[in-house]
Amino acid sequence: MKILGIETSCDDTGVCIYDSEKGVLSNVVSSQVKLHAQWGGVYPDLAAREHTKNIIPVLDRAVKESGVDLHSIDAVAVTVAPGLIVSLVVGISAAKSLKWALKKPLIPVHHIEAHIFAIFLSDNVQFPFISLVVSGGHTELYIIRKFEDYTFLGGTLDDAAGEAYDKVARMLDLGYPGGPIIDKLAREGKEVIKLPRPLLNDKGKNRFNFSFSGLKSAVMREVEKGIYRKEDIARSFQEAVVDVLVGKTVDAVNEFDIKNVVVAGGVSANSRLRERFFEEAEKNSFSVHFPPLYLCTDNGAMIAYTGYKRLKETGRTIGYDFEGKARLRLDRFIEYISRR
């Protein structure tokens, strides 16, 4: 089966052709990072305009690189939620046009679901597993019992982990996106400041929730003192974030006695997060899986693969009247598409 996947939920335009027998045939991503760098974050109207310019050239390249005839694909999959609505609608419109022109089914995919299921492009993970999704817009913990059986455990009450990385990078004047830059710089620094670990020891209703905005303000206060080296601040910040992300995931592993963990989303590329997770996995006897780096940040391959799973396992498709949603939690997305 061959699926064409389209991703435009934020600032990356991604198109992939996935073949269930041969794997990823092409995976083209056009990044807008340089454009948004001047604002230190994604500027929605600009992102949408760029998607409209890039979507057809990216689609064209993905089809050419795959070597398949566009008419031979079996279905089109597209990210329908969550994300910047002005960006989502560009991909959804392109996907609907393909559905119409090719007379093929259209499969809805949730962006977070795709980040999680991208792991199956590299690893054969056993269900059930705990998934920590950490990206620029999301920090969430789920139990994934099987495809389309998702339990939400908690999420961020304010900033996402990646957002905190980007904002701290801006305070330190390091450039955008901040995550990879802080990751690298922190390797040269020491944890000279013991920053707060928000909600880490909360064993009540917030035990699986996250909060990074207080941590960001604490970093700001240290930056303003003007006495610490940037690499030491980066290291102190990164240790705090990683402690919280790893600590809460390990709590979920122990509470639900689930021995597999999948870490997904842009921040899962973080080298310190990977290192700490592998240490804890050994100590607590669980196995942890990270997607290869090219699948951590936004891409069409994760959409095409998840679309393939949906078509094969539940056959859920959508029509021309289906609308994208800027905000829709993964477990609620399954309810939403089940009702249609």
Can residue 156 be called a binding residue for ligand KG4 (CB under 6 A)? no
Q: Which residues in 269-328 contact Zn ion (CB under 5 A)?
A: 298
Say how many Å lie between the first and final Cα of the chain, rounded: 24
Residue number, 19 or 120, with CB nearest to ligand KG4 = 120
Residue 87 touching Zn ion (CB under 5 A): no
Contact string (CB under 6 A) for ligand KG4, positions 278-317, x = contact: -------------------xx-------------------
* Binds 179: which of ligand KG4, Zn ion, none (CB < 5-8 Å by kind): ligand KG4
Residue 268 carries which side chain, given as an amino acid letter?
Answer: S
Among 183, 222, 231, 239, binds ligand KG4 (CB under 6 A): 183
Q: Rank residues 68 and 241 by Cβ distance to ligand KG4 and give the closer one.
A: 241
- Closer Cβ to Zn ion, 82 or 154, answer by number: 82
Question: Of the two residues 10 and 25, which places its CB atom closer to Zn ion in the complex?
Answer: 10
Residues near ligand KG4 (CB under 6 A), total: 19
Interface map 129-148 toward Zn ion (x if CB under 5 A): ------x-------------
**Phi-psi map region of 116: left, alpha, beta (phi>0 left; psi -120 to 50 alpha):** alpha
Residue 147, by phi and psi: left (phi above 0), alpha (psi -120 to 50) or beta? beta
- Length of the chain, in residues: 340
Establish if 136 lies at the interface with ligand KG4 (CB under 6 A): yes
Is there binding between residue 154 and ligand KG4 (CB under 6 A)? no
At 177, is the secondary structure helix, strand, or coil? coil
Longest dimension (CA), the chain: 63
Closest CA to 165 of 297, 293, 14: 297
Closer of 178 and 307 to ligand KG4 (Cβ):
178
Q: Could you say whether residue 267 binds ligand KG4 (CB under 6 A)?
A: yes
**Shortest Å, Cβ 302 to Zn ion:** 9
Beta bridge partners of 109: 79
Check binding of 260 to Zn ion (CB under 5 A): no
Per CB under 6 A, does 10 bind ligand KG4? Answer: yes
The β-bridge partners of 210 are 156
Q: Which stretch binds ligand KG4 (CB under 6 A): 71-79, 159-167, 186-194, 212-220?
A: 159-167
Using the structure block, give the residue that is written with the tokens 């013991």: 194
- Cα three-residue angle 153-289-21, rounded to 5 degrees: 110
Judged by CB, which is closer to Zn ion: 159, or 298? 298
Q: Binder to ligand KG4 among 13, 139, 249, 270 (CB under 6 A)? A: 270
> How far, rounded to the nearest angstrom, does the alpha carbon of residue 209 sit from its chain's CA centroid?
17
- Which candidate, 113, 52, 126, places its Cα nearest to that of 88? 52
Q: Pick what 288 binds: Zn ion, ligand KG4, none; C-beta below 5 to 8 Å, kind-dependent.
A: none
- Under the criterion CB under 6 A, does residue 82 sit at the interface with ligand KG4? no
Determine the Cα–Cα distance for residues 203 and 200; give it in Å rounded to an integer: 8
Cis amide prior to 82 (ω within 30 degrees) = yes
Tally of CB atoms within 10 A around 252: 20
Taking the least distance from each CB to ligand KG4, the nearer of 231 and 298 is 298
User: ∠ CA 203-208-210 to the nearest 5 degrees?
Assistant: 105
What is the spatial distance between Cα 118 and Cα 128, in angstroms, rounded to a whole number?
Answer: 16
C-beta of 197 vs 207, nearer to ligand KG4: 197
Residue among 339, 304, 244, 299 nearest 77 (CA): 304
Q: In the complex, which residues of this chain contact Zn ion (CB under 5 A)? A: 135, 298
Residues interacting with ligand KG4, by CB under 6 A?
10, 135-137, 162, 165-166, 177-180, 183, 265-267, 269-270, 297-298
